[in-house]
Amino acid sequence: MENELINKKGQTEQQFLEEYSKTKSQYEAPYVTTDNLIFTIGDDEAGNGKRLMLLLIKREDHPYINQWALPGGFIDIKENLEATAERELAEETAVTGIYLEQLYTFGDVGRDPRHRIISASYMALVNSKNMKVAAGDDAKDAKWFNVDSRIIEEKKTFTEKGFNKERLIKISLNNGSEEAHGIIKTTKIVENGRTKKITREIVEKQNIAFDHAMIIEYGLQRLRNKIDYTDIIFNLLDEKFTWSELKTVYELIKGEKRYKDANFRRKFEDMIIETDEKAPVGGGKKGNRPPKLCMFNTDWEE
Amino acid sequence: MENELINKKGQTEQQFLEEYSKTKSQYEAPYVTTDNLIFTIGDDEAGNGKRLMLLLIKREDHPYINQWALPGGFIDIKENLEATAERELAEETAVTGIYLEQLYTFGDVGRDPRHRIISASYMALVNSKNMKVAAGDDAKDAKWFNVDSRIIEEKKTFTEKGFNKERLIKISLNNGSEEAHGIIKTTKIVENGRTKKITREIVEKQNIAFDHAMIIEYGLQRLRNKIDYTDIIFNLLDEKFTWSELKTVYELIKGEKRYKDANFRRKFEDMIIETDEKAPVGGGKKGNRPPKLCMFNTDWEE
DNA sequence: GCAAAAGTGTTAATGTTACACCCATGC
DNA sequence: GCATGGGTGTAACATTAACACTTTTGC
């Protein structure tokens, strides 16, 4: 039925599409890539226990040669956008079928000096035990970096019609031998009692390629927020875990100790089922009570 | 300093970029567009008071001829992604400098039968008083539609490793004379106690072009969520408004009366400053107490 | 006066936080 | 027994919700 509709030229849809496929496009299309933020919980190289870690790849050519970049790559013309992210993730970590979420699409002119590139960023949370191949094994120089972000400045400037609010956020990355960092400025412009615009820009960076510091900052914010109202944290844990492991991972992501033990349990109690199993006793020099193993309660509703 | 680094071919960055610009690209790039969700509060054509409304444009050619689509268009190679959304918005509504937020990037193969198109969606909230040109004035057949979405089915299916949760959401659009709708299925796949994947697909649609029903559904969800923890609702109101106007708009977006009057005030009291002015008495047949005019409190912190 | 809509106050229920305490274990 | 980390109970406080009430206006 739909195909019997004709346009102003008197074409059916089929005729239209046939003609369309023959015309050579004038349109200069940007390239499209995905950039993946792959987070895991790993051991700090300096031996300070567990840390939130991010996978980065060392660039082997210009531009930004020898600097660190997010893994990612070009979309194939016959591949769904999310499939590109999944493929890139599988190529880097040999992990499939894990949590993957689209974050934001970065599309400023000049993001890449070679070509106009629009990049959709995705966030993946992988449990290191599920990772079949550790990053860094293959030819590409891929490494896990400790990630950290913190606000270093907040400023409010008054304008005629309202005010601007700026915030400087520093992203720090290190893996024992290598160090990289970037400072992102977010600006919120308020005029006539309304938020007009929120912008993000990189004001300083070292050893991080492209605008990837901005993507990392965005992803960390999303992760920190979502952890409080979704079940994504369990993607970073083993299937069975103890309360203290959960709390440790929570605090690594949040970057602070927000809850006392008892209250932390109450916060997560609906999301968790305690099993009868006990984890082997670990830390205490004089022994201690073995903790129960817990599982995510899949009946939990957000 | 950075430019003095040389790659394996012995090139500086400048030499590399020069060579790069001469090579003809093999890469078949998808097209990139933005699609705008432009919401406003307007009067129902049927005379049932205020409604949440969305701007749609009638397609004048194949594919989906005569069906309704979101306004949007192709990115220019020299234009930032957000600038494309701003330009399209200005073209449709002659409104500039208003709230605009990136939602999600849709990039499935086959979204458009003509070509591979990746589309970044943006949401704009406009106050009808700020709109200089009403939609529908120009050559293009653009119209405001009442929007509504509601869950029509929820289903949980158990699998070997876990379960799937499906939800059917119906998007209804109408403007008195025209009607359109779509049904979106969201599926959450849970395996081994972990959320593996969340997918969205269109299971039925009428009179809505492309995958735009899915974009609308996504945008409505975002709007409904953000209204509770940000100040975006004030973009839909005049600079000065009454408590009951605020509550009406809130309920239109939420699609339900969630709060009693007194409690609604408490919920928003930090975000609002009451002025000494009073709005003219409106509805009551025997007259009534005139309401105070309020403004958004720009000192409010989310 | 009185209907209509604006606006306030009071109490109950619920959720959050701090803090003190008990428990099971290995040395 | 005692240090160590696991785990629980309770009271104070803050937030939310329900509901009954007072206020200001125009006719």
**pLDDT at residue A216 above 70?**
yes
Strand partners, A151: A169
**pLDDT at residue B148 above 80?**
yes
Residue closest to C9, CA→C1'?
A: B262
Q: Which nucleotides of D are covered by protein (CB under 7 A)?
A: 1-10, 16-20, 23-27
For residue B243, give every residue at least 6 positions away whose Cβ sits within 8 Å of its Cβ, in sequence order, or none. Answer: B261, B264, B265, B291, B292, B294
**pLDDT at residue B138 above 80?**
no
Q: How far, in Å, CA of B83 to CA of B103, rounded?
A: 15
pLDDT tens string A124-141? 999 987 776 655 555 568
Strand partners, B73: B34
> Which residue in B110, B139, B119, B114 sits closest to B74, CA to CA?
B119
pLDDT tens string B191-247? 888 888 999 999 999 999 999 999 999 999 999 999 999 999 999 999 999 999 999
pLDDT tens string A161-174? 999 999 999 999 99
Which among B13, B28, B114 has the least Cβ separation from residue A62? B13
Element (H, E) at B101: strand B100-106
Q: How far, in Å, CA of A92 to CA of A134, rounded?
A: 9
Handedness of CA A250, A252, A256, A261 (dihedral sign): positive
| B1 CB contact with strand C at below 7 Å | no
Residue B134 structure tokens = 């009403």
Range from A26-35, A128-137, A210-219, B26-35 carrying the lowest mean pLDDT: A128-137
Check residue B5 and give its pLDDT: 82
- Does B298 contact A196 at a Cβ distance shorter than 8 Å? no
Q: How far is the CA of B225 from the C1' of C5 (A)?
A: 29
| A262 CB contact with strand C at below 7 Å | yes
Range with the largest mean pLDDT of A7-16, A124-133, A277-286, B69-78: B69-78
User: CB of B30 within 8 A of CB of B116?
Assistant: yes
pLDDT tens string B188-201? 998 888 888 999 99
Element (H, E) at B120: strand B117-125
Check residue B133 and give its pLDDT: 61
Check residue A137 and give its pLDDT: 54
The Cα-based distances of A145 to A110, A130, B187 in angstroms read: 26, 18, 34
Mean pLDDT of A241-269: 96
Q: Please report, rounded to a whole number, the percentage of residues in chain B having pLDDT higher than 90.
A: 68
Residue B108 sits at φ, ψ, to 5 deg, of -75, 145
User: Quick one: how many helices (H) and strands (E) in chain B?
Assistant: 5, 12
**pLDDT at residue B31 above 70?**
yes
| A266 CB contact with strand C at below 7 Å | yes
Measured at the CA of B242, the angle between CA B237 and CA B246, to 5 degrees, comes to 50
Supply the mean pLDDT for chain B: 90
Residue closest to C5, CA→C1'?
A: B288
Check residue A281 and give its pLDDT: 77
Residue closest to D17, CA→C1'?
A: B263
The Cα-based distances of A202 to A111, A195, A206, A214, B166 in angstroms read: 11, 21, 11, 7, 41
The burial class, CB within 10 Å (0-12 / 13-18 / 19+), for B150 is exposed
**pLDDT at residue B172 above 50?**
yes
Q: How far, in Å, CA of A271 to CA of A263, rounded?
A: 14
Domains in chain B with CATH codes: 31-226 (3.90.79.10), 239-296 (no CATH)
**pLDDT at residue A39 above 90?**
yes
**In angstroms, how far is CA A92 from the centroid of its own chain?**
15
Check residue A258 and give its pLDDT: 94
| A206 CB contact with strand C at below 7 Å | no
Strand C near-CB residues (< 7 Å), A 101-160: none
Handedness of CA B43, B59, B168, B106 (dihedral sign): negative
Name which residue leads in pLDDT, B78 or A128.
B78
> Which residue in B66, B61, B5, B92 sits closest to B207, CA to CA?
B66
Check residue B3 and give its pLDDT: 52
- Whose structure tokens read 């999600």? B104
| B242 CB contact with strand C at below 7 Å | yes
Check residue A57 and give its pLDDT: 93
Confidence tier at A1 by pLDDT (50, 70, 90): very low
Mean pLDDT of A192-209: 92
Confidence tier at A284 by pLDDT (50, 70, 90): low
Q: How far is the CA of A251 from the C1' of C18 (A)?
A: 19
Q: How far, in Å, CA of A181 to CA of A17, rounded?
A: 49
The Cα-based distances of B62 to A63, A275, B92, B117 in angstroms read: 42, 59, 21, 16
Name which residue leads in pLDDT, A112 or A128.
A112
What contacts 24+ positions apart, CB below 8 Å, involve B147-153?
B147/B39, B147/B51, B147/B52, B147/B53, B147/B54, B147/B171, B147/B172, B147/B173, B147/B216, B147/B220, B148/B52, B148/B172, B148/B173, B148/B255, B149/B216, B149/B217, B149/B220, B149/B221, B149/B255, B150/B255, B152/B183
**pLDDT at residue A107 above 60?**
yes
Q: Which nucleotides of C are covered by protein (CB under 7 A)?
A: 1-10, 16-20, 23-27
Chain B: give the shortest CA distance to residue A167, in Å: 14
Range from A95-104, A126-135, B40-49, B57-66 carrying the lowest mean pLDDT: A126-135
